[in-house]
Structure 1
Amino acid sequence: MAQRRRRTDALKAAAGVVAAAVLATACSGGSGDGAGNGGATPPGTLVAYTGQAGDYQANFNPYSPSMIEGPGTIFEPLFYFNQARETEPVPRLGTGFSWNDEGTELSVTVRDDVSWTDGEPFSADDVKFTFDLLLEEPALNTTGFTGETEVVSDTELVIRFDEPSFMEGPQLLGRIWIVPEHLWSRIEDPANDTVREPVGTGPFMLDDFKAQAFTLTANPGYHGGKPELEKIRFVALSGNQAGADALSAGTVDWQTGPVPDIHNVGQNYPGYQGIIVPLYQIALLTCSDAGLGCTGPQIDPAVRRAVYYAMDRTQLNTLAFEGTASEISPGFALLERDEALLSPGLENTVAPMEPDPGRVARLLEGAGWAKGGDGIYAKDGERLSMSVSVVSGWTDYITAVNTLGQQLKAMGIEITAQQSSWNEWSDARARGDYQLLIDSLYQGPAPDPYYLYSYFFASENTAEVGSSANPNFARFTDDEVDAALDALKRIDPQDTAARQEQFGIIQRAAEQDMPYIPVLTSGTSSQYNAAKFTGWPTEDDLYAFPAVWSRPDHSQILLHLAPAGR
């Protein structure tokens, strides 16, 4: 089956949910700011760990699935939309925007006091160039943008659409990274160029790069004023235990991932605070479509549904996630936020927390699988045995996969963890070179389930195995789902009843086909050095989603931080 193109919205794939880890020795070889760790760096330098397992490979192309940094910090959107709370968009390169009544014209005003970090002036022409580049380079156009952009003046432009496109606003304004026309117009292959010397308008610039760590420095000419945070040092390290050790030693200032006794960070790590925010949804991604080149037992929907019913999610939450995770819907709507949009046609509004051995047996035997002498199901000479790709050092996910392995074996299903570096894992995820893979489905720029569906379930955003999918990594295709996504784009967001009908189509397809097997809703856990820096988000002031790997949320937080005492 060839890759199909259609109008939809999708988000540039993020790095995925990660578990934090640090090795102090990995912080050596820095850029003149000490040993590269929180205890030895100057007060204005923040050491961050994003979960990078293994050496960094320099890639600052904000549109690349394997980029290591750039969105928000180096390359800016027009506005910042808070995915964690319902708040007004925060101006970045833009100052204002408005729709016409029909939702077919979006007028945008941009700043007149911005320069690129090489000194060239920024203008509305750069915005038009970026939007036009998406049309010219389909590999970059992961939002499915089809509008026509007209520059009205140096600070004004209008984007016109052939049909109502209200839902496109938050993505176009908040998740498109504006690039400099005077440099990017000379890039021959913008989808694959690694942009090793990035020039942006953002609050930070690349200062130094080494395989084990790289440093961003504050942009002295930033239009919002030079950030009080002088430098950010991103370290590439090894495993979660080392992350906990680094917190104890004060050698890392911000990480997102599990640590022992995660609910008592302030007591266990003096000077640090922790915050847990439920937002991302953990799933077993499956290479699901044989027509696109997927192979293995997981291409059978009965197998995928059997895995779903074989899970003991209560045990998984306890053993792998320290009780920080919560229930998940097989329709992938957030249970509290999106309750009004859950389809009554779902068999399970909430995924069962306990396993159902009888249901597992009926599903598999009804699909022609039979237990062999070793207790594992088989069909046509193929054992029901699958590998699960997981990043080395992500101990919470590794524990989850190992626990699942024990749970599923009792049901006649065999899975084994296949660990690799983040770079290898990310590449395999994009190319479909996996059977099962543990990751999270992320939300969009605004608190609305439409965006997750348009990212992970739209046919446009997938590809044949061997080609890069972004971010419909499961190779899911369904004409009715595509039609529902198209309809949702045209419906007024206030018309809940009309939207719910289309959401129901998508949710029922997600539950029946199960290309993404729901595990739990992740309680994203971050720890930060409150003694060294002030301005962190709190539960009472959640001005940005506080995960260090979430872009551009992390840049909004970095702009709020200041060394303690200033």
Structure 2
Amino acid sequence: MAAAAALTLAAAGCSGDGGKPAGGGNAGNSSITIFNGSTGTIVEQWNPFLPNFLQPTEGLIYEALYWYNFASDADPQPMLGTAYSWDTAGKVLTITTRDGVKWSDGQPFTAKDVAYTFDLLRRTPALNATGLKLASSVAKDDKTAVLTFEKPSFTDEASVLGNTPIVPQHVWEKITDPTKSINPNPVGTGPYKLKTFAAQSYVMEKNANYWQPGKPQIQNVRYIALATADAATAALTGGQVDWMSSFLPGLDQLLKNQKNLTYVNTPALTTSIFTCAGAELGCKGPQTDPAVRQALYYALNRDQLNKLAGGGFASTASPTMLLPERDKDWIADQANLTVPGTADVAKANQILDAAGWVKGSDGIRAKGGEKLSLTIQTVTGWSDYISLNDAMTQEFKEVGVELKPTQLSWQEWNTNQVQGKYQLSLDSIGLGASTNPYATYLRYTSTTTAKAGTAAGLSGNYARYANDKVDAAVAAAAATNDEAAQKQQYAIIQQEIVKDLPYIPIYVNSLLTEFSTANATGWPTNDNKYALPATWKNWDNGIVLSTIKPAK
């Protein structure tokens, strides 16, 4: 996420309830304010199965069976589930649920809610974002849910346990069309529930029925939209925001004299050029030509981009879309361990020449009457991404590619990606349901995409990429619990995606998160990353907000 120089807060984002400033006090009236990158108008959406849900939906309102902490190598933490086991074939998963949990409306939570949730996904493919192949989902009793899959599904374990929001049967069975409902009065088991909503801000309040004793200790949590993301610095240093994850140029100098402000850096996301790659799925433009995508890959001077846009915080990416340091053992060909640091202009030109893209008198290439001109979208005010666009415009011009950057509100930018209504887009990849590459490579399957103009799933194959070899390898990896066998399948996937490059990696972006201790303490630190602290990180946000305490 990006943000930078100071402007102004959106009018509704500057105050707490009733116009009073947010923050401070004891647990009874304590509150904090969060900026999670939203700019402009906030569109209400509390349906946890739709791709445009508001960020607190998963973690604050709804919980999963287990929680996976990507900031450490700890085992998954039991949440609504307390135990699970597979049969030897990997087709039957038995889950034991937690006793004593209530929904925010006071009704008891049982294994029947778990069974209902997964049966809802089975019956409603539009909600089944990860493409789980469920044959049945039943509750043996109030504490035991049994999921039966059509085929071996070991690698779906993390998606099932750690990335599926459990919803209440007594509420959702009354929803006529769950594929269209915004779920305006959400009922969950999480630490917070919805209090108020407005177009520039909304407030979550403590769930008095929360099952973890003594948590949370912060009574109200306000999420705000800024007029632009550029206002992030002013909001943070002006005491109007307690928690945000923004790239702020000169961060150390900015916070030097701010005694209540601190930050952590937890790089884990690969900043990439998303391409609408699948012409057969309705994508239009030169980027649908794999040769163009390959040329863009080699035309990038990533060392320069890190200096100009990454503030020197970024680290080296891999064309396999895994993290070179963490995932080295999963990368089959060590030649694909890292991306080039400098541009290979000669190679980029050679690729385009061979593909029939010819330079015109203006230096821009064309083929069959189509100019090699590409529009790239990013969010207004995301300063590091805007700087990337500025630098890449010059780098691509050297190989005869015209890049046209455009800035949009977050909502429009996100909608374009989800719907496939773009040519190029700057975004990041990483943090699947687990550190197993399966979660990352699910993004490349045809089961997690759709024709342009139709929303892709939550797993986010926004490139509209379809490759039979990749689909088969992902399916084969899911069918085994043998890591050696999985590595063989991932090698096939890596070979294909490095060649096709539907997502073009730039670098592993800094994941800077800023905190204020004026109103709350107990935030994650570099020495205690008890959760991945990014404000937009699903599930972890609930852990952080359940851990912090009101400042004395």
Give yes or no for TM over 0.5. Answer: yes
Of the three residues 494, 503, 507, the one matched with 2:490 is 503
Counterparts of 1:11-410 in structure 2 under 5 Å? Answer: 17=1, 19=3, 23-28=8-13, 32=17, 34-37=19-22, 44-68=30-54, 69-147=56-134, 148-225=136-213, 226-263=215-252, 266-344=255-333, 348-410=336-398
Residue aligning to 2:470: 481
Amino acid at match of 2:277: S
Q: Secondary structure at the match of 1:76?
A: coil
Q: Secondary structure at the match of 1:460?
A: helix
Aligned Cα RMSD in Å? 2.0
Q: Secondary structure at the match of 2:210?
A: coil
Residue 452 (str. 1) matches residue 440 (str. 2) = yes
Separation in structure 2 between the aligned mates of residue 200 and residue 130 of structure 1, nearest angstrom: 12
Q: Secondary structure at the match of 2:112?
A: helix
Shift of 1:99: 2.4
Shift of 1:531: 4.1
Bigger drift between 357-366 and 438-447 goes to 438-447
Of the three residues 376, 396, 413, the one matched with 2:401 is 413
Shift of 1:275: 0.6
Q: CA distance change for structure 1 residues 205 and 313 in 2, over 3 Å: closer, same or farther? A: same
Q: Secondary structure at the match of 2:321?
A: coil
> 1:36 touches 1:233 (CA, 8 Å); kept in 2?
no
Separation in structure 2 between the aligned mates of residue 61 and residue 442 of structure 1, nearest angstrom: 23
Separation in structure 2 between the aligned mates of residue 30 and residue 129 of structure 1, nearest angstrom: 40
Separation in structure 1 between the aligned mates of residue 10 and residue 426 of structure 2, nearest angstrom: 29
- Where do 5+ consecutive residues of structure 1 fail to align? 1-16
Separation in structure 1 between the aligned mates of residue 363 and residue 322 of structure 2, nearest angstrom: 36
Separation in structure 2 between the aligned mates of residue 38 and residue 322 of structure 1, nearest angstrom: 31
Separation in structure 2 between the aligned mates of residue 262 and residue 29 of structure 1, nearest angstrom: 23
Separation in structure 1 between the aligned mates of residue 37 and residue 7 of structure 2, nearest angstrom: 8
Shift of 1:336: 0.5
Bigger drift between 95-104 and 232-241 goes to 95-104
- Where do 5+ consecutive residues of structure 2 fail to align? none
Shift of 1:119: 2.1
Separation in structure 1 between the aligned mates of residue 8 and residue 265 of structure 2, nearest angstrom: 24
CA deviation string 1:338-378 (max 9, x = no partner): 1011122x754311111111011101000001110001111
Residue aligning to 1:4: none
> 1:29 touches 1:35 (CA, 8 Å); kept in 2?
no
Aligned residues: 545
Separation in structure 2 between the aligned mates of residue 41 and residue 60 of structure 1, nearest angstrom: 29
Shift of 1:24: 3.5
CA deviation string 1:222-271 (max 9, x = no partner): 11134101111000013344211122111100000111322456524321
Separation in structure 1 between the aligned mates of residue 26 and residue 399 of structure 2, nearest angstrom: 52
Q: Structure 1-normalised TM-score?
A: 0.92
Amino acid at match of 1:64: L
